[in-house]
Structure 1
Amino acid sequence: MSATRSAPVFAINHMVTPALRPQAFFELARAIGVRDVEIRNDLTGNAIIDGTPAADIGAQAAAAGVKIATINALQRFNEWTPEREKEAIELADYARDAGAAALVLVPVNDGTGQEDGARQANLRAALTALKPILTARGLFGFVEPLGFEICSLRSKREAVEAIEAVGGEDTFRIVHDTFHHHLAGEPALFPQWTGLVHISGVTDAAVSLSDMRDSHRVLVDGQDRLGNTAQIRALLAGGYAGVFSFEPFAEEVQQHDDPAGALSQSIALIKSQLA
């Protein structure tokens, strides 16, 4: 039996500081002692969407001494179409050429594709099609169930069952997002199946569970309502050995005048609570 890790290894998602250019973002990571980063393909006016070559991103990461854990994300991945296949190939090529380890896979999240039976079939069809694309490029696919009531993939168990059904154990893992885990209300954890953990907190005492949205997601602090520390502790105890990546969406975080200080404070708080 492998020993469990007691201390989390942190990463940061570019959503923490979406206005920073990649090089500055990578340098921010190193400034706070973080070696793993997630880059995104949905930041307007920023890489990847601005056409920055993947090789340039990889070189900047290497120069800063950080590793690109993922590109986040292939959207609507479980709605497999010729257009989605083209998008997946282009993004997987970019991930490979940038030196990323994995591609995050985000499901349809608009109220469609939720029907029982069709939902599972769509998921398995997409995983079956993605498997050779990812394998040929040496990438993992990280499936991210979302907790929103309108999402076509809310259950981590359903994701794991689909991965097993298509023989994707060597290619796919799931993302445990502490925000979405709380929203979905699915108590089960799958640490052995988890390839990535996204962490963020909600501190607004007035917002109801069903009304929580990305805009409420801040850095984890002492007023966190999502139980981040308990989730992190349980995942570590269960043998999860990947990174815990900060992914806040609230403007107050993204526009913070001292992101390094804010992130360092959150990291220190989580570590103290775990201790």
Structure 2
Amino acid sequence: MELRQFEYFVAVAEELGFGRAAERLHVVQPAVSKQVARLERELGVRLFDRSTRHVRLSAAGERLLPEVRAALAAAANVGRIAADIGGGQDAVLRLGTSQGLGDRLDEILLHLAAVLPRLQVRLSSLPLSDRLSAVRTGELDAAFVRIVEHSPGVELLPLWTEPLHVVLPAAHPLAGFATLAIEQIAPLPLRLAPRAVNPAFHDLIVNAITASGHEPVLGAPFTNLQDTLAQIATGPASWSVLYGAATAQLPTARIAHRRLAAPRPTTSLAVLPGPPSAAVRALLGACAAITG
């Protein structure tokens, strides 16, 4: 049994719904369902009575809920003690980062510094595959990754989901919408970086367009932000996709950015399987604190 399974069980019990629990935990609903089902198998009891209309605690779930809450409280206390111990040492956290984290990364690091003031955080910006490989070999203690659901030899802990933003000409009629569905924008040429640069992101967008019933129309490739925005603003109508944090400093005279209804990629923390170090546990706590 894992503490994450206990946390998901408590969230579903309190929200009385897997979808609402997933929103509260900032993960996708299948992840919650999977972990609760695994916990039921390991305990050998049914924790919830499920129907198309409701989710309710079973008799076994009612009995076990207080014990699970007590176990989580005890684990949190262990984490606090370990963090205090780690804070008394000149520990180092080697952390892989991803583009587009924006202010969220700053907030996480500030919270982490408040918890472990003597912790030295060394950031490494690497391509996705290199980040995962560095975690696998122990060169990194943890790394932020997006869209990845499985990676051999690495445990992926979901942290949050976030919307993407469509970037399009400000004069285009679709710029009048606050939120766009993928099928609305799909007929226009899409500017994406070549798949080899970021296969996971490329496939996420292309597959979403295909699932909406449209054939992807790939325009000129995304080169760099400045040049691509200039070409979107002045050339024939086209669009691109950015993470929300990347839109904060966009020029607004001839460019508009609008929230994309779906897909919503998940950001996870890649770590080695097994008990986390005090620094990694504090990092997880910081992530939870700034995402609510």
Query: If the TM-score is normalised by the length of the shorter chain, which range does it land in?
Result: under 0.3
| Bigger radius of gyration among the two | 2
When normalised by structure 1's length, the TM-score is 0.27
When normalised by structure 2's length, the TM-score is 0.26
